[in-house]
Structure 1
């Protein structure tokens, strides 16, 4: 007898059915990007070789994720979760007013954050690379832009984490755990 059947037989309620949502690549990408960005951020000018290696690794991860966003499974594809701005605004309004709609994949606001983070991290990688080229070697404006993009990304990460916590409470679902296991409650 399974635990779910045992709980039902003994008068309890069966745990909710779980469904795979996030494939292994999306989860590996997410946590690798988080770790590599943190490594790149803290090493900065202090340990240049580690900083540069982390930056190139991040750029490779971003390129792979963009490809995966086109050819990957359903919930990984940008076409599945990217929504128009009016839906993002409506999703944020609904979250603030307590009427947030649970989705199996990303929410419209979550999707907007993903695109924004990909753009910001991509810009940080591009300006980091530019600083290694002859054309932009020593260009202060590139260095300042690189630093500003990295700092803005840290602010976006804080907003992302706050959003994950808020939506986790609103939907009574641990989204960080779902990004570890790949599983979420079945659609209600």
Structure 2
């Protein structure tokens, strides 16, 4: 059999999940380039990113199967089983997020919400000019890009290990195994 031939495929990521993902990518990338040039745009991109995370959190409870947190919530047992299988060289197959991917999704969403909160706090009378809020916001921003890089690299590596086309699935909605 051809090593690149698709052996199975399944519709996994619904349109809302994909639009959320790529909208969040866009907000983060644009903020990377506009932070020093346009503070108002930076703020609106942060609010948009936070709003998208809010929509995604709601969708995590009412959306289709693979969008729901219950499908991929990274419990200690799920994480341990997944990591043991990887270490044995027998990776588990997950049509939705695997437990490590679920951990990353939740971590990234929490970070974006914390960035939005600390950014908004800096615009209020109570926290205007408060050093720890600005430092926390900047520290979170400094960690966001490495986490995004890790997320992208992990999607590529895990796609190879699990023999799935993860990046393509986030574009098309269909996850393919080969």
Asked if these proteins are the same fold (TM beyond 0.5), I'd say yes
Residue aligning to 1:132: 123
Q: How far did residue 96 of structure 1 move?
A: 4.3
| TM score, norm. by length of structure 2 | 0.91
Structure whose alpha-carbon radius of gyration is higher? 1
Deviation at 1:41, TM superposition (A): 2.5
Contact 2:169 2:176 in 1 (8 A): no
1:68-89 Cα offsets, whole Å, 9 max, x none, are 0010011000011103123224
Change in Cα spacing, 1:135 to 1:179, as seen in structure 2 (3 Å) is same
How far has the Cα of 1:174 moved from its partner?
1.6
Out of 14-23 and 155-164, give the one that drifted further: 14-23
Q: 1:100 to 1:63 in 2, by over 3 A?
A: same
Residue 93 (structure 1) shift: 4.1
Match of 1:103 in 2: 94
- Match in the other structure for 1:88: 79
1:149 aligned onto 2:143:
no
Which residue of 2 is the match for residue 178 of structure 1?
169
Cα distance change on mapping 1:49 and 1:42 into 2, 3 Å = same
CA distance in 1, matches of 2:34, 2:67: 31
CA deviations 1:19-50 (Å, max 9, x no partner) are 21000000000011011011123222321111
Gaps of 5+ in 1: 1-13
Question: What pairs up with 1:1-188 in 2 under 5 angstroms?
Answer: 15-185=6-176
Q: Distance in 2 between matches of 1:91 and 1:43?
A: 39
Residues of 1 paired with 2:153 and 2:38: CA distance? 30
Q: How many residues of Structure 1 are paired with residues of Structure 2 in the alignment?
A: 174
- Structure 2: where are the runs of 5+ without partners? none
TM-score, normalising length: structure 1: 0.86
Return closer, same or farther for 1:68/1:34 CA change in 2, 3 Å cut-off.
Answer: same
Change (3 A) 1:49 1:24: same
CA pair 74-85 structure 1, distance change in 2 beyond 3 A: same
